[in-house]
């Protein structure tokens, strides 16, 4: 079994589209007042554009590209703090490829590398630990970022560092948690979201139960979805059926990967290493209460910020950029005045243009030249 | 950056039971299996897992995958609306 290819079958895609057309007629959505589905995860955003799903859908359905791309919500000040640490002569700074081009006020980590800082790309957090063992005279800093998907891997790496008594390894913790973000989105008064496509791979860690407040308190359906075209289309059918049948549930389209209870072992390692504490700043969205993640007391010695004490910086987002409005569905990327001018993938202004999972980069790659 | 890749576990490292070799598209890579193993690592050989940043995060359920596909394949017959829409 190949596990991927079969989910791209054109006949199935066609058939699902027909179902979508049929079901949307059974709801009250119109082209003027469409169903606005937020896909929370940047992986979905990328797939939607890559496969052109947006254009295949009837006008009664519109995607809102959500904040679930950890790179897209990285605040400038945090990148500046990473660069400050990376530029220290004794440091080797390890980052996932996604984050290296995100601009801070002082440029990106890539620029810091061009200027001589030891910035290395890694595939797995474990790679950073290996680098630490191979370079005992250096201090190795891992840029720990991402949602609950990435947190368990960084947590296990830290457990290993502790077990093996590795003292030249540190983590710059920029992890974020999804539920507070969704809560803060839902509490924003002028936000237009009718339903959610839940993140597939994040949910394999946390499961589907944590989303139930969205149905219970906000009366919006959630369907956890896979990333293949048929997965996304089938999830839309599931959402439409809920509206047509006047239901509001958390459903799991991606059962082949996501158990409803998540991965208890992954949740346990997260709890062993991290503490969810305090507010955190998100690029484009501002301060989100209770979304902060730090290393707990047991792992304090590995905390790069405690060790290197970089300047705490808070850089306001440029008022001309509309990253926050794009993230919350208030406008489309093409409506931002900087789009394609000051802000392109080569010289990104906002982070939504940097990652291929960001809505602006996806628009730039696949839909440029269309009228706003 | 939350995308994972389905891989098939082909071997367990005899010296480090949390380390396995997994294969995807003919490429072998090291995968940490501590989040999906329940003690008997050898039983994971041949199993599909979803790998994210070098860690197997979830066991893939072939039965569920097949059920989804069967449901998708059966759709045209089950949904008369769909067939009507397909007619020119
Ligand atoms: S075009 Fe650039 S500045 Fe404007 S919203 Fe997108 S990422 Fe932000």
Averaged pLDDT in 10-residue chunks for chain A of 372 residues:
63 88 95 93 88 90 83 84 96 92 87 96 95 98 94 97 97 92 82 90 95 96 93 96 96 94 96 89 78 93 96 72 81 90 82 80 79 54
Among A244, A243, A225, A245, CA closest to A235: A225
Distance between CA A300 and CA A304 in Å, rounded?
9
B65 inside domain = yes
As a whole number, the mean pLDDT across chain B is 79
Q: What is the DSSP string of A255-294?
A: TTT--TT--HHHHHHHHHHEEE-S-EEETTTEEETT--EE
pLDDT of residue B27: 85
B84 inside domain = no
Residue A87 and residue A118 in contact, taking contact as beta carbons nearer than 8 Å: no
Q: Sorting pLDDT into bands at 50, 70 and 90, what band is B86?
A: very low
A1 inside domain = no
pLDDT of residue B6: 84
Question: CB of A198 within 8 Å of any CB in chain B?
Answer: no
Whether the predicted pLDDT of B87 surpasses 70 = no
B81 inside domain = no
A115 inside domain = yes
B27 inside domain = yes
Does B3 contact A227 at a Cβ distance shorter than 8 Å?
yes
Q: What is the CATH number of the domain that holds B10?
A: 2.30.30.140
Distance spanning both ends of chain A, measured CA to CA: 43
- A67 versus B17: the higher-pLDDT residue is B17
pLDDT of residue A226: 92
How far, in Å, is the centroid of ligand 1 from the Cα of A335?
A: 9
Whether the predicted pLDDT of B85 surpasses 50 = no
Phi, psi of A66 (to 5 degrees): -80, -175
Does A149 contact B52 at a Cβ distance shorter than 8 Å?
yes
Q: Is A140 exposed, middle or buried (0-12, 13-18, 19+ CB in 10 A)?
A: buried
Domain that holds residue B52: 5-74
DSSP letter assigned to residue A203? H
Quote the number of domains for chain A: 1
Quote the number of domains for chain B: 1
Distance between CA A3 and CA B58 in Å, rounded?
14
Write the ipTM: 0.85
A80 inside domain = yes
Half-sphere exposure of B61 (CA within 13 A, CB side): 14
pLDDT of residue A269: 97
B15 inside domain = yes
Which strand (E) or helix (H) includes residue A182?
helix A178-187
pLDDT of residue A237: 96
Q: Write out residues with Cβ below 6 Å of ligand 1.
A: A 321-323, 326, 333, 336, 338-339, 343, 349-350, 352-353, 360
Does A3 contact B48 at a Cβ distance shorter than 8 Å?
yes
Chain B residues whose CB is inside 8 A of the A205 CB are: 57
Q: What is the CATH number of the domain that holds A274?
A: 3.40.50.11740
Does B1 contact A98 at a Cβ distance shorter than 8 Å?
yes
- How far lies A170's CA from each of A8, A132, A153, A291, B34, in Å? 42, 9, 14, 22, 22
A274 inside domain = yes
A45 inside domain = no
pLDDT of residue B84: 42
Domain that holds residue A123: 76-176+263-308
pLDDT of residue A114: 96
B82 inside domain = no
Of A7, A98, A266, which is closest to B57 when you measure between CB atoms?
A266
pLDDT of residue A316: 66
State how far Cα A170 lies from the chain centre: 23
B23 inside domain = yes
B10 inside domain = yes
Distance between CA A189 and CA A112 in Å, rounded?
40
A56 inside domain = no
Residue B25 and residue A3 in contact, taking contact as beta carbons nearer than 8 Å: no
Phi, psi of A236 (to 5 degrees): -65, -40
Rg of the Cα trace of chain A? Answer: 21
Residue A156: other Cβ atoms inside 10 A: 24
Per-window interface: B 1-60 vs A, CB < 8 A: 1-4, 6, 32, 34-36, 48, 50, 52-55, 57-58, 60
């Amino acid at each position: 079994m190949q596990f991927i290819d079969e989910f791209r079958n054109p006949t199935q895609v066609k058939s699902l589209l027909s179902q979508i057309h049929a079901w949307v007629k059974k709801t009250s959505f119109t082209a003027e007042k469409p169903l606005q589905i937020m896909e929370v995860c940047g992986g979905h955003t990328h797939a939607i554009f890559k496969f052109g799903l947006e254009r295949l859908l009837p006008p009664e359905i519109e995607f809102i590209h959500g904040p679930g791309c950890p790179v897209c919500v990285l605040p400038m000040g945090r990148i500046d703090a990473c660069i400050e640490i990376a530029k220290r002569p004794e440091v080797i700074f390890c980052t996932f490829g996604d984050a290296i081009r995100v601009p801070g006020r002082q440029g990106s980590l890539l620029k810091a590398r061009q200027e001589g800082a030891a910035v290395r790309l890694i595939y797995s957090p474990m790679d950073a630990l290996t680098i630490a063992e191979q370079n005992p005279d250096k201090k190795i800093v891992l840029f720990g970022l991402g949602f609950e998907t990435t947190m368990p891997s960084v947590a296990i790496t830290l457990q290993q560092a502790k077990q093996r008594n590795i003292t030249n390894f540190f983590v710059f913790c920029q992890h974020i948690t999804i539920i507070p973000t969704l809560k803060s989105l839902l509490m924003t008064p002028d936000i237009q979201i009718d339903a959610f496509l839940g993140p597939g791979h994040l949910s394999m860690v946390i499961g589907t139960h944590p989303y139930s407040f969205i149905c219970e308190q906000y009366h919006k359906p959630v369907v956890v979805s896979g990333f293949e075209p048929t997965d996304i289309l089938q999830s839309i059918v599931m959402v439409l059926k809920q509206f047509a049948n006047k239901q509001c549930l958390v459903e799991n389209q991606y059962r082949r990967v996501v158990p409803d209870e998540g991965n208890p072992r992954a949740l346990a390692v997260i709890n062993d290493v991290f503490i969810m504490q305090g507010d955190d700043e998100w690029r484009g969205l501002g301060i989100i209460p209770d979304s902060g993640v730090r290393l707990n007391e047991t792992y304090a010695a590995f905390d790069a910020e405690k060790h290197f004490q970089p300047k705490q910086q808070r850089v306001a987002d440029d008022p001309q950029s509309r990253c926050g409005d794009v993230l919350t569905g208030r406008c489309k990327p093409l409506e931002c005045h900087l789009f394609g001018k000051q802000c392109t993938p080569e010289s990104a202004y906002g982070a939504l243009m940097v990652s291929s999972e960001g809505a602006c980069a996806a628009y730039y790659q696949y839909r440029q030249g269309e009228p706003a | 950056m939350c995308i994972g890749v389905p891989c098939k576990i082909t071997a367990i490292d005899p010296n480090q039971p949390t380390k396995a070799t997994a294969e995807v598209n003919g490429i072998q890579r090291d995968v940490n299996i501590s989040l999906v193993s329940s003690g008997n690592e050898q039983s994971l050989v041949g199993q599909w897992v979803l790998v994210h940043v070098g860690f197997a995060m979830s066991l893939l359920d072939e039965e569920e995958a097949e059920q989804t596909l069967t449901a998708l394949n059966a759709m045209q017959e089950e949904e008369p609306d769909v067939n009507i829409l397909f007619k020119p």
